[in-house]
C-alpha cells in the first residue's frame, strides 16, 4: 500500500458526491510522504526541521488562510447540516501537520480512559496477512476482557485501511453498540445516563484547544510566542483552514474528529481525576464512561452516582466553553436497553435469511440435484419467497421507526451485498428473483437517498451486473465448445 493515503481518507467528507475526488493531489510527487520527510529532514521517524520554519515548503509559501467550500448535507436521519470541503491548500496543510505530529496526537489521545474511538497508532504502509490473523484472534480475547488495555486497535485485523490511524476498539458507532466489550459493561452496571455535547464542532474555540494541550490557559498564553509548538500549530492549522475563524472547527473531514479527540481527551482526564478526588469513585470499579466522539454514556449501579458524575462532566465541559445538550439527556434504569434499536430487528431478518439458505443447500445435498424443483442454484441464491419476506420485513420495521429510516437503509443496503454471492443461471425463476432484488434495493434507496445509501446501492447493482456478465460469459463458452 502507498503511504500517501492521508489525503484519501482524512480530508474529504464522506457525504460528497461519488464523482468528486482529490486524486490530483494524491498523485503529486511533491506531496508524497517520502518527499515531505526529506524536506523535514526526518531521522528515525522523528521530524527535525532544517530550520525553524515548519511550513517552509515552496508549495505553502505566501498563503495566510483559506476558505472551505460549505455545502448542505443530509445525515442518516435526514437532518440537514452544513459541511465543509477543505481548500486543496487546507488539505495539504492538515497532512503536513499530521505527519509531523502523529506521535503527539497518539500520546495525547491516550490520556483518555473513556474514549472508545481515540487514535492509538499510525497504520503501517504494508499489511502482513499472518499478523492480521494473529491480531484477529487477539481482538476476540480482548473483547471479553474488561481489564485489557486493548493492544489491538480498530484496523490491525483489516486487509484494507479505512483511516490514517487505527482507533481504540472501534471507529464506528454501530460496531461499538453491538460489541462484546459493551455487553460486558452492561452486565456489570445497571444504570446509564446518556448525553452529548451541544453543537460540538462549531463550539470548539481553537485557542482553548491550544490552552488545553498546554495544560492551562495561563501557560498557553505564556507560550503564545512559540510558533512551532504542537499546541500553537494545532491552533494555527485549525483557523488557517477555516477562513481564519477561531470559533468552531470545520464539520465533515475525519481530520476534525481527530482534532476534537485531542480536546476531549483532556476533558476526560480532568473528569476522571475530579470524580475520584470528590467522590472516591474508581473508574471500571464504581462506574464506567464510554465516549464516542461527543456521545457520552455514564454507567454505574446508582442513579445518584450517575448524577454526580454527570455534574462533574458538565462543569469540566464548561471550562472549555462546551455545553451538554439538555434535549438529549436520557436516563436508563436497565443498561441492557441503552443500545437496543431497530437495527437489531433488521439483523435478525438477515440471520433468518442466511439460515434458510443454508438449510436449502443442505437439503439439496442430501436429496440430490432434483430436490429443489430442478433448480440446484436455489440454495446459493435463496428462494423468491425468502427475498420477498426479507424486503417486506425491512419495510415493516422502517414504517414503525420513521425517525431511523437512514440507519435502517444504510445497514440493510450494506448487509445485502454479503448475500449477493451467487452466479446466476439465467433461468426464468432466477430472473424473477433478480427483479425482486432490484425493486427491493430501489425501494430502500427511496426511503433515504443519502450519499452513503447511494454508494451501497451502486455497489449492490454493480455486483448483480458482474454476476450476470459472469454467467453470460460462461454460457457463451459452453456454446462455443458444443455438446460433450
C-alpha cell at 142: 480482548
Q: How many CB atoms lie within 10 A of CB 477?
A: 9
**Mean pLDDT across 350-359:** 86
pLDDT of residue 239: 92
Rounded Cα distance between 305 and 196, Å, is 18
The pLDDT of residue 129 is 47
Q: Torsions phi, psi of 120, nearest 5?
A: -115, -20
Q: What integer pLDDT is reported at residue 294 of this predicted model?
A: 96
Residue 13 has pLDDT above 70, yes or no: yes
Whether the predicted pLDDT of 344 surpasses 90: no
pLDDT in the model for residue 77: 60
| Helices 428-447/405-416 angle, 10° precision | 150
pLDDT in tens, 74-115: 765 667 789 999 999 999 999 989 988 999 999 999 999 999
Whole-number pLDDT of residue 361: 66
- CA 316 to the chain's CA centroid: 26
Close Cβ partners of 125 (under 8 Å, ≥ 6 residues apart): 1, 2, 3
Q: Which residue has the cell 500517501?
A: 4
Closest CA to 407 of 72, 177, 196: 177
Better-predicted residue by pLDDT, 296 or 65: 296
Site of grid cell 499478523: 131
For residue 130, pLDDT over 60 is answered with no
Would you say residue 420 has pLDDT above 80?
Answer: yes
Q: With CA atoms as reference, report the closest residue to 255 among 5, 9, 88, 37.
A: 9
CB 241 within 8 A of CB 67: no
For residue 198, name the pLDDT band (cuts at 50, 70, 90): very high
Cα distance between residue 58 and residue 186, in whole Å: 54
Q: How confident is the model at residue 296 (pLDDT cuts 50, 70, 90)?
A: very high
Which has the minimum average pLDDT: 182-191, 243-252, 284-293, 463-472? 463-472
CB 424 within 8 A of CB 468: yes
Give tens-digit pLDDT for 32-47. Answer: 887 777 766 544 344 4
What's the pLDDT score for residue 372? 46
pLDDT at position 51: 36
Q: Which positions ≥6 away from 75 have C-beta within 8 Å? A: 81, 406, 450
Amino acid at each position: 500500500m502507498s503511504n500517501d493515503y492521508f489525503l484519501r481518507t482524512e480530508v474529504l467528507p464522506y457525504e460528497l458526491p461519488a464523482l468528486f475526488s482529490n486524486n490530483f493531489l494524491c498523485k503529486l510527487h511533491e506531496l508524497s510522504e517520502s518527499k515531505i520527510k526529506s524536506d523535514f529532514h526526518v531521522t528515525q521517524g522523528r521530524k527535525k526541521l532544517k530550520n525553524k520554519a515548519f511550513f517552509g515548503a515552496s508549495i505553502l509559501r505566501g498563503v495566510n488562510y483559506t476558505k472551505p467550500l460549505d455545502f448542505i448535507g443530509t445525515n442518516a436521519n435526514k437532518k440537514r447540516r452544513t459541511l465543509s470541503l477543505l481548500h486543496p491548500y487546507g488539505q495539504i496543510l492538515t497532512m503536513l501537520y499530521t505527519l509531523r505530529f502523529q506521535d503527539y496526537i497518539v500520546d495525547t489521545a491516550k490520556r483518555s480512559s473513556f474514549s472508545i474511538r481515540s487514535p492509538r497508532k499510525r497504520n503501517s504502509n504494508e499489511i502482513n496477512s499472518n499478523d492480521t490473523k494473529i491480531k484477529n484472534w487477539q481482538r476476540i480475547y480482548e473483547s471479553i476482557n474488561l481489564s485489557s488495555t486493548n493492544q489491538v486497535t480498530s484496523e490491525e485485523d483489516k486487509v484494507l485501511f479505512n483511516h490514517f490511524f487505527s482507533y481504540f476498539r472501534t471507529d464506528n458507532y454501530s460496531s461499538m453498540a453491538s460489541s462484546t466489550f459493551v455487553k460486558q459493561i452492561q452486565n456489570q452496571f445497571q444504570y446509564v445516563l446518556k448525553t452529548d455535547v451541544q453543537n460540538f464542532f462549531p463550539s470548539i474555540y481553537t485557542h482553548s484547544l491550544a490552552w488545553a494541550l498546554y495544560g492551562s490557559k495561563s501557560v498557553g498564553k505564556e507560550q503564545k510566542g512559540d510558533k512551532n509548538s504542537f499546541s500553537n500549530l494545532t491552533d494555527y492549522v485549525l483557523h488557517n483552514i477555516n477562513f481564519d475563524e477561531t470559533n468552531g472547527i470545520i464539520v465533515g473531514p475525519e481530520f476534525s474528529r481527530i482534532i476534537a479527540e485531542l480536546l476531549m481527551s483532556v476533558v476526560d482526564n480532568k473528569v476522571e481525576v475530579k470524580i475520584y478526588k470528590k467522590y472516591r469513585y474508581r473508574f471500571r470499579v464504581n462506574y464506567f464512561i464510554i465516549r464516542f466522539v461527543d456521545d457520552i454514556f455514564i454507567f454505574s449501579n446508582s442513579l445518584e452516582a450517575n448524577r454526580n458524575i454527570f455534574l462533574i462532566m458538565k462543569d469540566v465541559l464548561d471550562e472549555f466553553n462546551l455545553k451538554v445538550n439538555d434535549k438529549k439527556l436520557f436516563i436508563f434504569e436497565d443498561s441492557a436497553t441503552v443500545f437496543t434499536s431497530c437495527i437489531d430487528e433488521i439483523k435478525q431478518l438477515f440471520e433468518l435469511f442466511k439460515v434458510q439458505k443454508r438449510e436449502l443447500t443442505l437439503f439439496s445435498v442430501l436429496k440430490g440435484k432434483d430436490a429443489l424443483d430442478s433448480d440446484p442454484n436455489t440454495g446459493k441464491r435463496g428462494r423468491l419467497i425468502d427475498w420477498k419476506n426479507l424486503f417486506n420485513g425491512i419495510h415493516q420495521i422502517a414504517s414503525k421507526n420513521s425517525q431511523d429510516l437512514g440507519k435502517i437503509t444504510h445497514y440493510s443496503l450494506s448487509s445485502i451485498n454479503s448475500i449477493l454471492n451467487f452466479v446466476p443461471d439465467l433461468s426464468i425463476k432466477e430472473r424473477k428473483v433478480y427483479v425482486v432484488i432490484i425493486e427491493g434495493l430501489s425501494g430502500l434507496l427511496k426511503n433515504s437517498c443519502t450519499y452513503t445509501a447511494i454508494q451501497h446501492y451502486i455497489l449492490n447493482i454493480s455486483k448483480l451486473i458482474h454476476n450476470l456478465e459472469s454467467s453470460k460469459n460462461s454460457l457463451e463458452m459452453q456454446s462455443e465448445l458444443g455438446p460433450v
